[in-house]
Chains A and B, each alone.
Chain A
Amino acid sequence: MLRRFRLEEPESVAEAAELLGRFGESAKVYAGGTELLLAMKEGLVQYERLINVKKLTGLSDVTTADGTLVIGALCTHHQLENSPVLRDKLPALTKLEQNVANVRVRQVGTIGGNICFAEPHADPGTLLIALGATMIAEQSSSKREITAEDFFVDAYETALQADEVLTKIQVPIPAPNARSAYLKFGYLERPSVGVAVAFNLNGGVSGVRIAVGCAGPAPRRVAEAEALLEGKSKDEALRHVAEAGAAAGRAAQAISDLHGSQEYKEHIVGVLLKRAFQSALS
């Protein structure tokens, strides 16, 4: 049994933001509820009001505009795994979405809800950082952009303000010679380590972006590892990928927990980076 709460069903983002501003900590945005309802059932959080954002329009599409892929925050993982636009432009994200949690969570869970709850053991954030995504956050009468790198602040903490609603995720459509891959490892219900890599391939590798997730409190870009591969020829980069993996592991801020010790996770980061890089090249 959940504790009693009131349901608010705003019909515009402005209304939703206004409700959040008015009720503060006693209200929470509710979409798929796949994380929120679990925390509420566990008694870890309590709210007087849930703000159902599923009546907001225009936030459940995947569209393209001026070389940018725009993903509505309310898109469910199921929608994303089946989106022809996404499969065409960002197959790495399609594959990620196909493998989020299980079929029931994918059915109702939204990508917006996933990244806003900022559970450390989650997938999308890591790849979104590697792809250079930008989040659009709206208040009653203003909008701002937050880069994926800046969005994930800490475990369960994002850069969103209390009365901001995440509306869109923008991803630059990769160039024809761009490559990307996301690999994860886990044997519990949630992933234990996730590594995403993205780069341009034109003789050598350039514009390398690497992100590590799940191992530490929040997904993060690992510039230390990127530097070891940037500008190298394909073969040289492959020779350095183990070193890059070790750097990425150290930079992951891995926490020892039930998913594994810090050392184990750092090691897995290295393995996944090597495989992700090879996978992206193929």
Chain B
Amino acid sequence: MQFQKEVEILAPREKVWQFIWDVDRFIACVPGCKDAKTIEAGKRYAATMVEKVGPFKVEFPTTIEVLEREELTRIKAQASGADNKIGSRMKLDLDVHLREEGDKTILGFVAGVDILGKLAALGHGIIKRKADQVLDEFAQAVKTKLEGDG
């Protein structure tokens, strides 16, 4: 599943870039994400993703690897997790872009999400909708956090 999102943030690029690497605050923007840990600053992180669709709940201990990094411009990352209770795995390929537009920063990302295992039984449509919701909420939360801080 592929998703593309863009959000306009009324904040300078440097501030947005710094925010991304402030792991605790950044992870707090991802709905269902908790217990963020830095394993190797700038390279490896860990968190737990908890998502629910009705009675179906998944908890993915997730590892996030930063693959490429272009200061103030781009991040390429990969995340993966497995919920053994429910026999499912999650894979995420993330490409994050920042660009300046006047006094605004455009934060864009392209996400490739794969759900494998039993959870896929819920149906591609339901999962896609959920993933879309999560990414939308995430983009909005980042915007709100950054603009709110003034």
Q: Measuring CB to CB, which residues of chain A are less than 8 angstroms from any residue of chain B?
A: 25, 28, 39, 42-46, 118, 120, 154-157, 217, 255-258
Q: How many residues of B contact A (CB 8 A)?
A: 18
Q: Is the CB of B126 within 8 A of A28?
A: no
Q: Are B55 and A43 in contact (CB under 8 A)?
A: no
Contact A120 B126 (CB under 8 A): yes
Decide: A217 and B129 in contact? CB cutoff 8 A.
yes
**In contact, B54 and A42 (Cβ under 8 angstroms):** no
17 A-B contact pairs sorted by A residue (CB < 8 Å): A28-B55, A39-B55, A39-B56, A43-B87, A44-B56, A44-B118, A44-B119, A45-B56, A46-B85, A120-B126, A154-B54, A156-B53, A157-B53, A217-B129, A255-B125, A255-B126, A257-B126
Closest B residue to A154 by CB, please name it.
Answer: B54
Q: Is the CB of A258 within 8 A of B123?
A: yes
Given the complex, which residues of A lie within 8 Å of B116, measured CB to CB? none
Q: How many A-B residue pairs have CB under 8 A?
A: 48
For the complex of A and B, 5 pairs with smallest distance between CB atoms: A156-B54, A255-B125, A257-B125, A157-B54, A155-B126
Chain A residue nearest in CB terms to B128: A255
Q: Which residues of chain B have C-beta atoms less than 8 A from A157's C-beta?
A: 53-54
Q: Mark B84-100, 1 if CB is under 8 A from A, else 0.
A: 01110000000000000
| Complexed CA–CA distance, A154 and B129 (Å) | 11
A43 contacts across to B, CB distance below 8 A: 86-87, 118
B17 CB to closest chain A CB, in angstroms?
35
